Amino acid sequence: MRKNLFRILSLLLLFQGTGAFAQNPNFHIYLCIGQSNMEGAGRIEAQDTVNIDSRFKILEALDCPELNRVKGQWYTAKPPLCRCKTGLSPADYFGRTMLENMPQQQSLGLVHVAVAGSKLEIFDKAKYQAYLDSSAKEKPWMINMANQYGGNPYKRLIEMARIAQKSGVIKGILLHQGESNTGDKTWPAQVKKLYNDILADLNLAPNSIPLLAGEVVGADQGGKCTSMNEIIASLPQTLPKATVVSSKGLPAVPDKLHFSSAGVRIFGKRYAAALLASQGKRITIDESSIVPSEKMLLYPDGVPNSKPAVMKETGAENGVYKGITTPTLEYYKADPNLSTGTAVIVIPGGGYGVVVYNGEGINIAKALAEKGIAAFILKYRLPSDEIMPDKKIGPLQDAQQALKMVRENAEKWGIDKNKIGIMGFSAGGHLASTAATHFEKSWINNPNNTSLRPDFQILVYPVISMKDSLAHKGSRENLLGKNPSQEDIAYFSNDLQIKANTPPTWLTHSADDKVVDVDNSISYFERLRKNKVEVEMHIFPKGDHGFIFRHPGWMNPLFDWMKRNGWTK
């Protein structure tokens, strides 16, 4: 009897010695810290809110009544994961990927505290207040975010981590931070101090858990802070438990600071793959959603309307091309989870003098593919007497050939041949609208009589008219020459070529455009309306020419229009 009583008392003492809570060794906890990309800069889409494993949990770090979440409580990890209104974080797909590779009896939880725009100093337990005080005037929005954590993000992180320890075991730290510390060579030492502080404050043994640090947007994507990656790469020399996660190839949004939603998803999977690799388990992750599937010659059997020339193509170094003699079509595969079979041929602008391939081509194609729309970037010939017998029709030939190629290969690429649209920017908008109004005459070899009519057209601050009162003079001169005939002016003034069978149209422009007058779009809209062609137009009061680089949400009305028409989900 006394022996049994002694055993019971011993077990009770042992239970009290562990903190008087039932810690589940199969519940793995990860701490997520950083600035905006970790916080969640990606747009949350429908695919991110479904099929979430009930074993995947988030410990809410603040009260979110709009999400029916209370600070300090566990919930299924449906985004947003950081704060009440943040976006998609790499921590999301890190957790999903980890669970796919963990035994069924194990689960995974996140403690997520991050502040957009902040230097790493915001998590320094000794220096955070001085940093916040010095940033108050420059970044009041950052102060507001910090205030949601009681004015001390580090303290909130530790508070939540201690709550998490009552339920599970802390297994690692995910960090994405560095944009605001670009060029700071003390950054690795600051990360090491933060790592040591966390472990000490949570009573974890020194160097007992891994830390994964992700690179910022890379040079291959034109990242604004890409030089920071060299400093991030040196982190394991200072902190041996650190592993660096590559951002190579991950698409960014136009600000070149933040990853797109597609990039965020793959980044999270890479965090998981890096952690598993450090544990001796290698996995393969599907990155097809961010990789161009194919780059093709537009004319495999020879370019029509061409003549021998010594002109050399330039522009690969900055994505603004000139001297194109061999046009191409670059295919970006649609996200298979969202595809409806829709495809769009993207035609960048440049006044018929250059092709702004990266800014109005690659960035757009990635955004479309991410929404489930197959995208094909047309690198077209610029009108030139040096390389063409008739420069006026050269660009139109290339646009028609692109439509023909996509339609004839639709089945191979999983595309609905009746859902192929065309999209153009500035002078590329002129070419797109030319293709959409001149499809009844084929300027290319078309033995199968494949339809050259786009099923819809998307025109962004487009050049439409070649008339003196509206024409963008540079585009007109490059296409038609210095003294065009009235016949050519009328033929290539696309508002004059509209018929009842012109494809449905979506237009956008800014009212203060000083390069291409907004009346180009208005004139086109009015002619479409009078011909009873479905048309929608969005005019921004300000933004000037090329406003897509300054208004990141400009595509939202476009996607709404496409959804209403059944071209996206």
Whole-angstrom Cα distance, residue 223 to residue 251? Answer: 10
Whether 545 is catalytic: no
Among 36, 180, 426, 521, the active-site one is 36
Among 133, 220, 227, 255, the active-site one is 255
Whole-angstrom Cα distance, residue 211 to residue 195? Answer: 8
* Nearest C-alpha neighbor of 162 from the set 27, 55, 29, 34: 29
Give Cβ neighbours of residue 245 (< 8 Å, ≥ 6 apart): 212, 213, 214, 215, 267, 270, 271, 274
Among 258, 430, 472, 509, the active-site one is 258
Cα→Cα distances 11→4, 7, 8, 116, Å: 11, 6, 5, 47
Whether 288 is catalytic: no
Q: Compute CA 495 distance to the chain's CA centroid, rounded to the nearest angstrom.
A: 34
C-alpha atoms less than 13 angstroms from C-alpha of 124 in its C-beta half-sphere: 17
Whole-angstrom Cα distance, residue 212 to residue 174? Answer: 5
Whether 112 is catalytic: no
Beta strands at 74-76 and 56-59: parallel, antiparallel or unpaired: antiparallel
**Residues 76, 57 contacting (CB under 8 angstroms):** yes
* Nearest C-alpha neighbor of 434 from the set 496, 504, 373: 496
Helix (H) or strand (E) holding 17: helix 2-17
Cα torsion at 235, 241, 246, 251 (round to 10°)?
-100
* Nearest C-alpha neighbor of 389 from the set 327, 449, 307: 307
Q: Is the dihedral of CA 253, 258, 261, 264 positive or negative?
A: positive
Which residues are tagged catalytic? 36, 255, 258
